[in-house]
Structure 1
Amino acid sequence: MAKRQRIVSVTAKQRDELDRLLRRPSVAAGLAKRARAILLLAGGVSVSATGRLVAMQRRHLYKWIERFRQHGVAGLADGKRTGRPPVFSPRSCDPLGQDRLRTA
């Protein structure tokens, strides 16, 4: 039987950075899920099993694997999204944001 090749290889520095991400109390849930997936894949777990463990589809895993290969740990972060700007400015004068309330 042929030996399985690892899908992802992680350096010691990258592994430490991924471990630190998982231990941080304020890390985004998606980033933590992706970091855990990369660590599982680097440990030799199959893509299908990793997908079941982190609740992510295989096609999404392959996307994040490719981003990790190209950009390292920084590639696991969410990118900019297009869309409408927020209605309530974080620097609003009114503490409750009511000065910018829209009416229908």
Structure 2
Amino acid sequence: MGRPAKPLVVSADDRVQLESMARSQSLPAALSRRAQMILRMADGEPQTAIAHRYGVSRPTVTLWRTRYRERGIAGLHNELKPGRPRTTSDEKVAELVNTVLTRKPNGNTHWSRRTLAVETG
């Protein structure tokens, strides 16, 4: 077993925000759990015990410790993942939503992708 990690230093302002996040019912559970892990590390709890408590691996606990140290609370949020860029503009999306919510398709009770595409181009 390696040497124990030093307690994580958390500012008073961050602690207040992390405690709020840890108790939150409206945040995603993963984000709340990350805040709880950071608070436990700040209180000196060993990373192995934290990993066991939350059912994650020790490297996962280390990942969130490192992300918090480097980026603060913002580092606890999920990163954007790469993927195909959007091909539909915000204006077109708004037009489609408006059409679906305000009009009914001719001869049908619900919009399908095909009838919506024919209607809006």
TM value normalised by structure 2 = 0.66
Unaligned residue ranges in structure 1 (runs of 5+) = none
RMSD: 2.7
**Relative contact order (alpha carbons < 8 A, sep ≥ 6): 1 or 2 greater?**
1
Residue 99 (str. 1) matches residue 99 (str. 2): no
- Give, as a single letter, the amino acid of the residue that structure 2 aligns with 1:94: V
Q: Deviations over 1:32-78 (max 9, x none)?
A: 11101011111111000000112221111111111100111111111
User: Which is higher, the Rg of structure 1 or of structure 2?
Assistant: 2
Instruction: List alignment gaps of at least 5 residues for structure 2.
Output: 87-92, 102-109, 115-121
Q: Distance in 2 between matches of 1:63 and 1:74?
A: 14
Q: Is the 8 A contact 1:36 1:54 kept in 2?
A: no
Question: Residue type of the partner of 1:18?
Answer: L
The share of aligned pairs that are identical, in percent, is 28
Q: 2:100 aligns to what SS in structure 1?
A: coil
Partners of 1:42 and 1:97 in 2: how far apart? 53
TM-score (norm 1): 0.75
